[in-house]
Amino acid sequence: MQKKMLVGGKWREGRESYELRSPYDNRKIADIPSATLEDVEDALASAAIGAGIIRNMTALERSQILERVSDLFNERKEECARILADENAKPIRLARAEIQRTIETYKFAAEEAKRIYGETIPMDAALAGKGRIGFTIREPLGIIGAITPFNFPFNLVAHKLGPAIAAGNSVVLKPAKQTPLSALKTAEFFLEAGLPEHVLNVVTGSGGLIGDALVKDPRVKMITFTGSVEVGKAIREKAGLKRVTLELGSNSAVIVDSVDDLDAVVNRCVEGSFSFSGQVCISVQRIYVQRQLFDAFVEKFKAAASRLKVGDPHDEETDISALISPAEKARIHSWIAEAVSQGAQVAFGGEERDGILVPTVIINSTTKMTISCREAFAPVVNIVGYDDWDEAIALANDSDYGLQAGVYTQSVAKAIDAIRRLEVGGVIINDIPSFRVDHMPYGGVKDSGTGREGVKYAVEEMTELKFASIKY
């Protein structure tokens, strides 16, 4: 099956293409066009026209398009879920959950399109302000360059496109090389929903070539990127004065201090550690357990992990399937081996079953081991005991990342203390850091990035605040 890019409202073949293959069984799924610099230039020229078109659309018109896109996802959610199972090996039940979130994200965007507010300024609060009215409005930036990852290719595209279009911007979208089908399907829905030609362009292929062109082009007023720290830092260096939102890596920690129901906490932590094989930005990678609970927690955790089914992503019973590439599997095997050589122990897992890395539990790791201090992005979790509360906070903060953290405690004082002291963008009390709903503010500190997603907050990032004053 030969796929086409969307440029200037038309489906375009590439001069060259690459084979898209399933991460699970390596079967060929489609031939995907590899965009050239000429394709990118055409997409940018189209987006410049589109920026003028959508800027002059009413809030209601933009809202109705986004609402219709949401409806189309709802009507065709099984088709979309199976695209995910094919292109990134997401187990089908998790794929359906992503589509449900995508439906919600576009609905939130449709709502936000109708409530982009300014405010009045009391000019007469200053001596020179007498006889003047002041107010602010928010205006679209223009062209948004959106670069998206493989792990949530429908919903994270929605987090770029939904707010951008709600705010009245055009978009050039560059999806991950492994997950172009989801982006192209989304583009189909937008055209079907009535989005004018030129407003959305989708170019597929090399991230280096396309990404560099978007980041450096002066017509692009903002880059919104989700991906690795290394690429994010490179974007920041090349972007100049254009606005940049970066949702980068993480190494999320959970502190288990005191609990009412240990079994429930364990099951939730297992879910947060191994959902989509740990290929989630806020996947649980480090669990710090109060020493008195440690032994019981580990045994219950191992038992729960052993019940997860490994296999075909299209199988309704599958919990864990293939990592996105053999290279990623080889990398995480080397990290596990390194940790063991440095004194850590594999309490569960570590092996493969039918070529799939099974859920793996590491104990006795330290914050200096690669498996603990870098983003694993694999079905691997570190469980470490601690003696006192201050030690737990220090361990959780001992990371270059700071996206979200989870804390289980029955103490209100400790909950408030954790919120104040944890160096992260979001603190989730009595749940795992993997918790996210799509209208909440979402983003990190330190190497986890800059700016915030969550539809309302992304709209603010994608608009310019303009002040006006009238003398009367």
Q: How far apart are CA 225 and CA 157, in angstroms?
A: 10
DSSP state string for 194-247? TPPTTSEEE--S-HHHHHHHHHH-TTEEEEEEES-HHHHHHHHHHSTTSEEEEE
DSSP 320: B
Q: How far apart are CA 278 and CA 359, in angstroms?
A: 9
Burial 267-284 (b: 16+ CB within 10 A, else e): ebbbebbbbbbbbbbbbb
Q: Which candidate in 87, 98, 112, 247 is catalytic?
A: 247
Q: How far apart are CA 205 and CA 179, in angstroms?
A: 10
For helices 180-192 and 59-75, give the axis angle rounded to 10 degrees.
120
Q: Is 247 a catalytic residue?
A: yes
Q: Token match 């007498």: residue?
A: 130
Q: How far apart are the first and last CA of the chain?
A: 65
Q: Which candidate in 80, 269, 281, 373 is catalytic?
A: 281
Non-local (6+) Cβ contacts of 436 within 8 A are 282, 404, 442
Non-local (6+) Cβ contacts of 445 within 8 A are 402, 423, 424, 425
Q: Is 281 a catalytic residue?
A: yes
Q: How far apart are CA 450 and CA 439, in angstroms?
A: 18
Cβ–Cβ < 8 Å for 188, 3: no
β-strand 5-7 against 10-12: which pairing, if any?
antiparallel
- Give the catalytic positions in this structure: 247, 281
